[in-house]
């Protein structure tokens, strides 16, 4: 008989699952606020309508569920056969009728939640592979989904903002993003300072860095390439007239 509650007992993992499900509920709320006609409107992502965002989030849940199934069974089930197949799937999903598109999101979210629920403690450490080729434990699937639903709820462009995202999620996002920059060496001379918090990221050894400063939600919005509102840029004592674009994240 399937479990009626999460089999995972690790407190940190349980908290992560809660954040992922809260993010899913938040995305669902923003989606439900949109009329069927408004789904045709543009999103905050260049070249994507809101339909594309919903399709991506729906198919992403199915893809992550495949990784959880891989962890549970030991049978390799990749997220997607290729990036090209993923992109084609999103373009196809964007053509679905409004009711089919909404059902895609709802049903895929439930499916993923059930796969997580039924994964026992012993299998969460089992390794799977992301579409980028990273080998990660199954626990990473929770964070993969968390960042998708929270960020893309904002991308729907109907009132959600990075200020709606929980602070622990924002902090981890910023650590992930700046870590990716450091790994690629694209953060040279760039320092990020979060106002109101003891958080500094980036090239801390730079002699004359460009310092990006702002509240945590605004800094993360900038770091994800989604806007410069609420942040400033300075070099030494000079405030720059324009905030530079953030390095590529993913």
pLDDT 10s per residue in the chain (250 long)? 455 789 999 999 999 999 999 999 999 999 999 999 999 999 999 999 999 999 999 999 999 999 999 999 999 999 998 889 999 999 999 999 999 999 999 999 999 999 999 999 999 999 999 998 899 999 999 999 999 999 999 999 999 999 999 999 999 999 999 999 988 888 888 889 999 877 788 878 788 889 999 999 999 999 999 999 999 999 888 888 999 999 988 7
CATH 1.20.120.450 residue ranges in the chain?
11-160
How large is the greatest C-alpha to C-alpha distance in the chain, in angstroms? 65
The CATH architecture annotation of domain 11-160 reads Up-down Bundle (1.20)
The per-residue pLDDT for 187 is 84
**Range list for CATH 3.30.1050.20 in the chain:** 167-239
CATH number of 167-239: 3.30.1050.20
Structure tokens at 40: 């045709």
How confident is the model at residue 132, as a pLDDT? 87
Nearest Cα to 201, choosing from 12, 143, 226, 210? 210
């Amino acid at each position: 008989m399937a479990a009626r509650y999460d089999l995972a007992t690790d407190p940190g993992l349980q908290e992560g699952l809660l954040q992922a499900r809260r993010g899913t509920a938040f995305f669902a709320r923003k989606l439900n606020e949109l009329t069927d006609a408004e789904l045709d409107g543009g999103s905050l992502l260049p070249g994507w309508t809101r339909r594309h965002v919903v399709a991506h989030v729906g198919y992403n849940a199915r893809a992550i569920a495949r990784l959880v199934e891989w962890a549970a069974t030991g049978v390799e089930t990749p997220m997607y056969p290729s990036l090209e197949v993923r992109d084609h799937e999103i373009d196809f999903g964007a053509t679905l009728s409004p009711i089919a598109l909404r059902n895609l999101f709802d049903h895929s979210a439930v499916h993923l939640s059930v796969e997580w629920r039924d994964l026992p403690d012993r299998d969460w450490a089992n390794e799977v592979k992301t579409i980028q080729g990273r080998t990660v434990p199954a626990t990473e699937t929770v964070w993969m989904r968390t960042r998708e639903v929270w960020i893309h709820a904002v991308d729907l462009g109907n009132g959600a903002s990075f200020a709606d995202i929980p602070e622990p999620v924002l902090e981890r996002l910023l650590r992930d993003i700046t870590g990716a920059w450091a790994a690629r060496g694209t953060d040279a001379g760039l320092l990020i300072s979060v106002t109101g918090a003891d958080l500094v990221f980036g090239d801390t050894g730079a002699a004359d860095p460009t310092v990006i400063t702002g509240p945590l939600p605004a800094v993360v919005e900038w770091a994800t390439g989604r806007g410069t509102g609420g942040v400033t840029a300075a070099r030494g004592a000079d405030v720059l007239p324009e905030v530079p674009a953030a390095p590529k994240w993913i």
